[in-house]
Structure 1
Amino acid sequence: MKEDDKEFFIENIVNVNRTTEKILFGTIIVPVVFYIFTVIGLWEVPHAFSVSLFFQEIIVSLISHFINRVSNKKFQYFSMYFETIAASIFVAAMAYSGAIRLSISYALIPIISCLYYNKRLSRLTTIYNYIFVILIVIYKSYTIFDVIVGRFTREIWIIQMCMGYTVEFAFLFFTINQLCKRTHRTMTKLNRTKNEYNNLNEILIEKNRSLDKTQYKIIQFVSQCLGSHDLFTGHHVAHTQVYVEMICRQLVASGHYKAELTERNIYLFQNAAFLHDIGKIHIPEGVLNKIGKFTDAEFELMKTHPVEGHKLLEFLPSIGNGEFNKIAKQMCLWHHEKWNGTGYPDGLREYEIPLCARIMAAADVLDALISQRLYKEAMDVDSALVIFENTSGIHFEPAISKAVVDCRNKIIEIDNQFKETEAKQNSEELKWWQDYHENLKKIVS
């Protein structure tokens, strides 16, 4: 038997043991009924028998209860045999009392044993129930034979009764054996089908994960392409991805937005950050990589990149049931909105701005302040954090400003890593763009 099949049937044994345990507890009421009905004159069951059966069922039920609480597999198998034998003894005891006449009840325990899907147990249960029946027949031949009317002797009566029960139990044995074999085979197939389904489901989940990774790699590739268009945007979007995750986790640690900032949403937020500046692809390189500050006209042109990026993202195929697309578009369109409503392009204020865009705004400004640009040198982290403190409730949501300030040591660590790994590349690209602008001046003049 395969290991998966063994685990399935062991789990089934545990469940049926618990059910049989409840049945055994239910049998405690029977001797009580014997006692009451004897007192009122409906039956004639010796009180000593009722009391002994009562305590027997209590002891059996408690033993069953404690065995079933042990997780060891061997104990569960023991409980399976213990409970079926105990139930069979109980049925035999009722027949022994002579208070009620039993017939189909003899088959009850073998039928219940089929629930275990264990062929060996069902066969043994049928056999020892047959033995109990024969013993009861022999016992009754000596206790109630004097009320049996007929022309046959005690021996003939015993033989006739035993032959009848033998035929019945032979049929019962055959039926239960076939039923158990069939159900065992069926449940094995069902279990393997379930396992195959689970395996297939795991494969599909893994493929979906792989597809997600591929999609996000494509997004990173797009952001890198944008980096070739703009000296700093390529590194900037990679930086903001890290800062977005950092801010999200600090907000959660501070007790803010625990319901919104799940692991899944943080993952979506940080990957969507790659696309927040995608609209800059529509900004001319001469403006985007200008040395020095923008003119008013150039700044107005730069301010169009959120709307242009939002338009581009309308064509992005659905990712993550569309959740990613929605977040990416919100971050792209509204990451320049301000808490007091003075931002662009729509002048949204406070909670009108989606949470992802509010966090993106903070990550965007943080990286812009502490990173080098063509028109400025990098600001030190402490000076940048003073700006966050001073613009709390103006540019940024107060909780987000505080989250950034509280991450001071982390920001310093991340910023140092970025500067170490990117210094040479930035220097080379900066030299290329400076030469580009010098050569462009010569051509124009």
Structure 2
Amino acid sequence: MRQELVQEQKLQQKMNHSLLQAIQILQLSSIEMIEYIQSLANENPLIEDINFDYEISTYKEKYSSYNPIEEVTQQPMSMYDELKEQLVTIQVKKDIKEAVYFGIDSLDENGYLTIDLSMLANHCSISESDADEALRIIQSLDPAGIGARSLSECIIIQLKRMNKYHTYIEELLNQHLNLVANEDVSEIMDIYKVTETEAFETLENIKSCHPKPGTLINTKVPEYVIPEANVYKEEGSWKIDFYQWTSPAIRMNQDYQKFDQLNKETKMYLKEKQNQVEWLQGAIMYRTNTLESVIQLIVEKQFLFFEHGTFMLKPLTLKDLADVLNVHVSTISRTIRNKYIQTNYGTIPLKFFFQSGIKQSNGTETSAFTIKKLIEEIIAYEDKQKPFSDETIKRKLNEEFGIQVARRTVMKYREQLNIPSSMKRKNRGGNTL
């Protein structure tokens, strides 16, 4: 009886160890897993070879030679890379996407656009109105002032972003820049019929703007990201190719089994190392199967996002996937941790696809992300002299997009977006001459 109990306890310990290792491997990103496996290989004499198989069997040719391990020297992220990365969460129409990217590439090191709209339109074979829309998207990126074509436009963009723009400032900057340089408060008061306080505040606000916004972008060495899979459209269907490096094959050296003359202590050591390899192989297989199931389900649930972009992102919770896959919510949480997929919108973290939502009267749900983007768009096109109240934004969401939300929800999302109230957004400047 005692012997059976001891054996049962030993079996339980092995199961616990195996489970813990599986959980540990599951929550690692690909690069973390690769580093972990390589560290174990340095300590385990039975690991003869690790095959990461970088050649991707079914992925597009242009990515098949990509080898993340050989990419030892990480290059700093440039201003252009940083700006393009921001486009992942912005809805950009397909016919102007090339123009937006070309416009970003046409910025100088200070963030100013070096080409005019007609050149942008001609190069990308689009209308000037579409080129203007592409420029508006570029100028919506951070930091404020990016994409400006002159110093005055750079300052105006920043002031509008801070909700400190007054209608007379454009003329002040374009025709009376010397008044700004000399801080001539009295002359500004006289020309634009504003109070001393307003003139002084205008000068202070202008001085707070950065003349070279491009230099504000830190060129940093990014944390290296290796996508787990590529999601792409082929012949009208969405397909998923999982990179082979996410499921490395470990080959164990079998020669040790031939050494019958080994002493007991050495045999026990080798048996321990053999168990370590077998546990590791099982943990990798568990990670692979779980990750593939989760990504396939994400693509299925967020099908409209892959078709049409961020405005079609649906509400999705960890529990939604856990229920379908019959696993605990914590398993889904560990699976998506630090994991990315390659899409036609760029490399996106899996956690991006999990969004809270608001239920509509027709039974459908709209994601909070989509509602926030629409609120931003509504406010971007409002009359700055008569900004929309939260109640008006609520009505517009319903009338123009069929989205029903409470006024307090609009207020909450607006505040989360760091957008001031309509009262604070209102342009209190003097009259335009």
| TM band (smaller chain) | under 0.3
Structure with greater proportional helix content: 1
TM normalised by structure 1 equals 0.22
Instruction: Flag the structure with higher strand content.
Output: 2
Q: Tell which structure's C-alpha radius of gyration is larger.
A: 1
Q: Report which structure shows greater RCO (CA 8 Å, sep ≥6).
A: 2
Give the alignment's TM-score, normalised by structure 2: 0.22
